[in-house]
Amino acid sequence: MVCRIAELQYKEVIDVSDGARYGFVHDVEVDPARGTVEAVVVRGRPRFFGLLGREPDEVFPWSCVRRFGDDVILVDGRRRAVKKQ
């Protein structure tokens, strides 16, 4: 399966260990020197309808990604990181 980075924003990130749904891909981190994808970023959920900002973004290193499906990405969420905003 070939997937473009632009198509990742339509994929939902789901944890394989407990079935938690984190949301949709917001961004990816790329290492231009090596030409590799380093992480998948899911945007934090809005607080109180967005009036109080957002929760921190969740960053899933590429080593956490287990499987790509047509509309989901399965990750091992126990190894994720939280990105400060």
pLDDT tens digits along 1-37: 677 878 888 899 999 988 999 999 999 999 999 988 8
| Number of separate domains in the chain | 1
We report the CATH number of the domain holding residue 49 as 2.30.30.240
> Given this model, what pLDDT does residue 1 score?
65
Q: Give the pLDDT confidence of 37-81 residue by residue, as tens digits.
A: 899 999 888 788 767 888 888 899 999 999 988 899 999 877 666
Domain hosting 47: range is 5-83
C-alpha separations of 77 from 35, 48, 84, 85 in Å:
24, 25, 17, 20
Give me the pLDDT at residue 4, please: 80
